[in-house]
Amino acid sequence: MRKEKFPIGIPGVNLREIEREVPVTEPPAWPINDKLKHVGKSVKRTDAILKVTGKAKYTADINLPGMLQGRMLRSPHPSAKILSIDTSAAEAFPGVKAVYVLRSNMSGAEPKGGEDNGYPEIKYAGQAIAGVAAKDGQTAEEALKLIKVEYQTMPFVVDMDEAREPGAPLVFEQQVEQEETGGGGGGAKGLEQQGNVRGPSTKSFFGGPRGDVEQGMAEADVIVEGIFRTQVQTHSALETHGIVADWKPDMLTVYASTQSTKGVRSEMASIFDLPESKVRVICEYMGGGFGAKYGAGNFGVTAVNLSKISGQPVKLMLDRKAEHLAVGNRPNSWQELKIGAKKDGTLTAIKQESYGTAGIGLGAGVGRVAQAVYECPNFLTEQYDVFTNAGPGAAFRAPGNPQGAFALEQLIDELAEKLGTDALELRDKIDNSVVRKEERRLAAKAINWSRRKKPGSDTGVIKRGIGVAQSTWPRLIDIDSTAEVRMYRDGTVEIRSGVMDIGTGTRTILSQIVAEELGLEPEQISVKIGDTLFPNGPASGGSKVSGSITPAARNAAYKAKQEILKQAAPKMEEKAADLELKDGMIVSKTSGKTMSFKDALKQMRTSQIMTSASREDDYGGFMVGTFISHGDLGSVQMAEVSVNTETGFVKVEKIVAAHSCGRPLNPMQIQSQVNGGVIQGISYALYEDRVMDKNTGHMLNANLDQYKIAFSMEIPDIEVINIEEYTARSSTDAFGIAEPANIATAAAVANAIYNAIGVRLYELPMTPDKVLKALNLV
């Protein structure tokens, strides 16, 4: 170990130095961004030209010689037992090369105890049953219709409130479990299950209940409470889930539209009983995931089997309908929240109880904002999963947290009003986060908070309002993150990692990091990622890519630098320790002698230098055992809306989004990502809603016209404020921004609507009918 001094804090607020012990193999501390050349600059995306010319190849674009087209048969019934399946006619259909019937359901919660007749029970309309591979899509579709399935239909329930009632049709007869994931899917083990209700879950990685809420409520001078509801939202990435599977005797190659190449590899290896070394997963370009694209999936297992049977590569992309039905969604929520406070605003207790349905899956909680944002000695949350006959939920951008923030931040607003305090002043009092305090200050200035009027005080049909909401997200780290840096004799430099670029700009920041360390330009760094032939990188989820892979990348580049300097030193008649890399040159700090980097590479002993490094543990240790870095990613968003009080139509006019993500690596990309989070937040707040028919058990709007998503005309003026915040935790000290950008938006819009019309909305999405109802016009 050695001692090293690092910048810590927020420039202009509390920037100072801290000394930490770091492993001797780690590179020296970087100064703050304005002293760096590439890091912290808005470098253009390295893959930009490929994306604007249509040359970037996504999974859907992969075309292998002899490739077949796969299609899937899905259940038209929401609940049924499959008595028999006859595939003979489909198999005999000209042009069909393989038919495969699924023997288990790969997604959602798993019942304990096996199936009787070898077919998985049908638990939702749209559940995968079988797949066909044929010479073209048309043939495969026709063949699907020839598969004869004999169903015994069963009672079903798709409405959460009905599913909670005693005597409701049981989605699972048995106790179920689903592995908990860092991203938010699955659930704690061994919780009680009664009827369709499982829980409560009372813990998160921030710990369990604190103090005594009843005592805290008794001590309160003011109590605010409410019941809040949020809807089911589907991820609706523009590229649907899908894979191209190429089964060869010596190697299974899978091109997958996935957020985790290593995750797909390990699942495929385990399902097909192959060593991981014989499974290769590639995801070069990917058309959006937002949390839904992990693992092999029913479609993946089907495609691999079809390839295995036919001996040919098989492409299987989901259609838009299946994408809505079967591969993930943000669960809904019913949430009762109660907050007690002293007259001076000090919180005395927070009590939260929630129910949510992730369909046949687990993971329908309301997150941890209520637990983590404000100081409060007494806290209790009880979060229940409710099973319904609907497609399984999946992690979706800050799982649970937008739901939680929608309730928490509205009640904090209500509390401020009851106490006669300004909404920001109360937060200044009860929120001890330094970064959020600065964010509140800057955001308030940007939106001109001081002009905020009394709720509902605008005259006229159209009323305007301003609102605020806050959030937090942990700094998650995937320790299994490794990068390899290669230097070649021809002067080129390459970085490799299995991490993929979901669109956030991972390629670009990796090129910036390596260029910074080696004194080169970012465009000189060739970035090879999204392939399990490279060392494992983190999954693109949980806002953990930047925090996980950039330290590994810098460390690997640093090691490669040590090696090339060691080799160049004798040729320059210098000591390696005196040499540095700067602007494409090796420079002696003592004599000023130089040698070009290219020349040094030309004279390497071997034709290449390859170094790899992983991420060290956090400097100063992790906060908790599951690799969470210290501190939180605090965010403050403010919204300005106009509400037509006769039609109920809400328009978001402006959002100010103030965020921190540690050391910002590429401000332009950060801004893009925050814009995206805000827009998804607006879409969630006002438009998106999965509509299920209670009587038939079907989703009615499994498309992109009746499932309403914000398009161009729904986009307000968005101002992004990005705080530089140093924490001295790794060799890059950078963290992600995807999840934080999305958490507070709906709550900020809700508070702005309240400020506009003086009536609070307790249910998402805040559509005209709900506004009209709140205004007593319906």
Q: Which residues contact 418 (CB under 8 A, 6 or more apart)?
A: 222, 224
Closer residue to other proteins in complex, CB, 560/710: 710
Rg (alpha carbons) of the chain, rounded to whole number: 27
Least distance to other proteins, CB of residue 717, Å = 8
Closer residue to other proteins in complex, CB, 18/709: 709
Closer residue to other proteins in complex, CB, 30/285: 285
Q: Are 355 and 334 in contact (CB under 8 A)?
A: yes
Q: Which two tokens stand for residue 154?
A: 């069963």
Q: Which two tokens stand for residue 545?
A: 């890519």
Least distance to other proteins, CB of residue 365, Å = 24
> What residues pair up with 341 in beta bridges, in sequence order?
222, 347
Block residue for tokens 């950078």: 734
Least distance to other proteins, CB of residue 504, Å = 7
> What residues pair up with 132 in beta bridges, in sequence order?
71, 99
Closer residue to other proteins in complex, CB, 237/748: 237
Least distance to other proteins, CB of residue 675, Å = 5
Closer residue to other proteins in complex, CB, 482/680: 680
Least distance to other proteins, CB of residue 114, Å = 30
Closer residue to other proteins in complex, CB, 227/777: 777
Per DSSP bridges, beta strands 197-201 and 193-194 are antiparallel
Q: Hey, is 393 helix, strand or coil?
A: coil
Q: Are 128 and 74 in contact (CB under 8 A)?
A: yes
Distances (CA, A) of 580 to 36, 425, 600, 609: 15, 50, 13, 17
Closer residue to other proteins in complex, CB, 53/459: 53
CA distance 9 to 658: 16
Least distance to other proteins, CB of residue 657, Å = 11
**E runs forming strands in 240-343:** 242-248, 251-256, 279-282, 314-317, 333-341
Closer residue to other proteins in complex, CB, 377/768: 768
CA distance 536 to 458: 56
Least distance to other proteins, CB of residue 60, Å = 7
Closer residue to other proteins in complex, CB, 505/634: 505
Q: Which two tokens stand for residue 384?
A: 């229940």
Least distance to other proteins, CB of residue 334, Å = 19
Per DSSP bridges, beta strands 333-341 and 635-644 are unpaired
Q: Are 648 and 769 in contact (CB under 8 A)?
A: yes
Least distance to other proteins, CB of residue 710, Å = 7
CA distance 302 to 245: 9
How many other C-beta atoms are found inside a 10 Å radius of the C-beta of residue 243? 32
Closer residue to other proteins in complex, CB, 240/612: 240
Closest residue by Cα to residue 678 from 718, 651, 706, 641:
718
Block residue for tokens 């290669």: 486
Closer residue to other proteins in complex, CB, 10/462: 462
Least distance to other proteins, CB of residue 706, Å = 6
Closer residue to other proteins in complex, CB, 208/711: 711
Least distance to other proteins, CB of residue 458, Å = 17
Least distance to other proteins, CB of residue 501, Å = 8
CA distance 75 to 319: 15
Task: Give, for 2, the enclosing helix (H) or strand (E).
Answer: strand 2-8
Least distance to other proteins, CB of residue 654, Å = 12
Closest residue by Cα to residue 601 from 516, 494, 482, 442:
494
CA distance 582 to 596: 10
CA distance 260 to 125: 27
What DSSP letter does each residue of 502-529 carry, written as one string? -SS-HHHHHHHHHHHHHT--GGGEEEEE
Closer residue to other proteins in complex, CB, 416/710: 710
CA distance 6 to 336: 44
